[in-house]
């Protein structure tokens, strides 16, 4: 039986199928792997942990991206 997982991504609520890793979430969000950083509940998650890290119920995910700037 598949469980549902309720999280928020950049303050927007979102429902996912459990389990879901950060890497899988980025694919769902159509984000490239390069140039992106992820924080969960204000902790920055290292790139090397993106595959193992399983999202938990109520996680607040924030995705950052490198953009043009001076």
Q: Which residues of this protein are in contact with another protein, per CB under 8 A? A: 9-10, 12, 29-32, 34-39, 44-47, 62-70
Residues 70, 60: Cα–Cα separation, whole Å? 29
Least separation in angstroms between CB 2 and another protein: 24
2 vs 42, which CB is nearer to another protein? 42
Give the max Cα distance, the chain: 50
Would you call the peptide bond into 19 cis, given omega within 30 degrees of 0 as the criterion? yes
Least separation in angstroms between CB 8 and another protein: 11
DSSP H or E segment with residue 26: helix 22-28
Least separation in angstroms between CB 44 and another protein: 5
């Amino acid at each position: 039986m598949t469980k549902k997982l309720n999280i928020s991504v950049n303050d927007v609520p979102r429902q996912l199928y459990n389990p879901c890793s950060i890497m899988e979430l980025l694919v769902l969000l159509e984000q490239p792997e390069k140039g992106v950083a992820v924080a969960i509940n204000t902790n920055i998650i290292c790139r090397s942990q993106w595959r193992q890290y399983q999202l938990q119920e109520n996680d607040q995910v924030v995705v950052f991206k490198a953009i043009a700037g001076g």
